[in-house]
Amino acid sequence: MNILVCSSLYPNHIWPQHGVFIKERMTHFSKTTGHALKVVAPVPYYPPIKLGSRWRYSQVRRRELLDGIEVYHPRYVIVPKIGMTAYGLSMFLTLLVCARNIRRHFDFDLIDAHYVYPDGFAAVLLGLALGKPVVVSARGSDINLYGQMPLILPLLRFTLRRAAHVIGVSEALKAVMVRLGIQADHISVIPNGVDARKFSPVPQSAARARLGLPNGTYLLSVGNLTKNKGFHLLLQALHVLRTRHHLTQLGLLIVGDGPMRAELERLAASLDLTDHVRFAGRVPHEQLYLWYSAADLFCLASEREGWPNVLMEAMACGLPIVATRVGGIPEIVSSEAVGLLARRDHQDLAYTILAALQRPWRSDIVRQHAAGYSWTQVTEALSRTFEDTLRRPAPLSRKAA
């Protein structure tokens, strides 16, 4: 089976952590099954002029090899005043040119698209143009956030209905798509996996020594520094725990970067937490195990989530969880033997973190829970889905939804 993967979220040499969960899934799939893959990961066109951070798009190579997989990075045009409604069509035109060139030496059987809009929309149009079936994977915000945008919602529905099949990473995400009018039997749930070899714990003292962390009790949160991830709530919860509950040895480790970093640093200063919060910035994916191993509790205060891999990675390192009860999180933290769920406000987060810190945890049970979500299981489910899709009629014979 030859598969063309389409996703603007796929990593590149400029942003190696970008959409790493997609690369992990497809790399494991290719290595395990022997099926051949090529990836088209379009990036927005930007002139090579050093104005703002977007100029780095111009530095992304047109073609590269990532873990042995050939990845193409064609450019698509974004016109700010027109807005998101045009992104899908612009991406389709780029994909069409690139895919036709690829097909000359790689006759792919199926298109595997990640993120419903604009990537999935563009891939569905590509499939119709080339007569290839398209499997679209919904990841979270593409449904939970874009589904609330009146101009984007019809494009989401078109994509989900015209795809040969749809994958959701959680039952919660599938339920949202069903409420959008998509038939349940048109959707398979295939969660993300975790690599237990990459995310294996080391002794806490050794991890702290390597990271330069003094003695104490540490909360850890990993992610992009955006409002959705709720780092501001964790800072407020830490303030409550240190002042009201006198946990003066408690600190917070924040791994990641993003647009809210300066604002979060100011908030930490205003709460007198500067000396008790470490902003570590971006950390290579293969080094995250050190941070998971060094911490006492992993916290995630998101407003929206599909299937956050950071929870799986933390648990694979034996780290218990406190997280908000949103999206697919309750499906991951499905037992109080591995973590506790909280409402999304700093007071309840503080209360739940306090309860978790007072609770005895067995790291072996936490790790065993994570082991139930291996990439091997994901690969098997993905293979069945692709094979079943190829047995169905070609997309040109499908009736319009």
Percentage, residues of the chain above pLDDT 90: 82
Query: What is the pairing mode between strands 63-66 and 69-72?
Result: antiparallel
Q: Is 91's pLDDT higher than 90?
A: yes
Structure-token pair, residue 187: 């959707």
CATH architecture, domain defined by 204-372: 3-Layer(aba) Sandwich (3.40)
Task: Label residue 147 by pLDDT band (50, 70, 90).
Answer: confident
pLDDT for 398 equals 41
Strand order in the sheet with 165-168: 63-66, 69-72, 36-40, 2-6, 110-114, 134-138, 165-168, 187-189
- On the 0-12 / 13-18 / 19+ scale of CB atoms within 10 A, 284 is exposed
pLDDT for 401 equals 37
The Cα–Cα gap between 114 and 192 comes to 13
Residues 4 and 133: beta-carbon distance below 8 Å = no
Residues 288 and 222: beta-carbon distance below 8 Å = yes
Q: Is 399's pLDDT higher than 80?
A: no
Phi, psi of 40 (to 5 degrees): -110, 115
Q: Is 183's pLDDT higher than 50?
A: yes
2-193+376-397 has which CATH code? 3.40.50.2000
| Residue-range domain boundaries for the chain | 2-193+376-397, 204-372
- State the chain's mean pLDDT as an integer: 93
Q: Is 299's pLDDT higher than 90?
A: yes
The Cα–Cα gap between 191 and 312 comes to 11
Peptide bond into 118 cis (omega under 30): yes
Instruction: Tell which wins on pLDDT, 153 or 56.
Output: 153
Q: What is the pLDDT of residues 103-123, one digit of tens each?
A: 999 999 999 999 999 999 999
Instruction: DSSP letter for 117, please.
Output: I
CA angle 120, 126, 129 (to 5 degrees): 150
Same fold, 2-193+376-397 and 204-372: yes
The amino acid occupying position 135 is V
Helix, coil or strand: residue 300? strand
Q: Is 382's pLDDT higher than 80?
A: yes
Q: Is 81's pLDDT higher than 80?
A: no
Average pLDDT score over residue span 169-189: 95
Q: Is 203's pLDDT higher than 60?
A: yes
pLDDT for 78 equals 84
Q: Is the dihedral of CA 167, 172, 174, 177 positive or negative?
A: negative
Average pLDDT score over residue span 251-262: 95
- Reported as half-sphere exposure (CB side, CA atoms, 13 A), residue 41 has a value of 29
Helix, coil or strand: residue 321? strand
Average pLDDT score over residue span 177-203: 94
Q: Is 168's pLDDT higher than 90?
A: yes
Q: What is the pLDDT of residues 33-72, one digit of tens each?
A: 889 999 999 999 888 888 777 788 889 999 999 989 999 9
pLDDT for 397 equals 38
Q: Is 282's pLDDT higher than 90?
A: yes
DSSP per-residue codes, 58-95? GGS-SEEEETTEEEE--EE---TTT-GGGHHHHHHHHH
pLDDT for 65 equals 93
Q: Is 145's pLDDT higher than 90?
A: no
The amino acid occupying position 75 is R
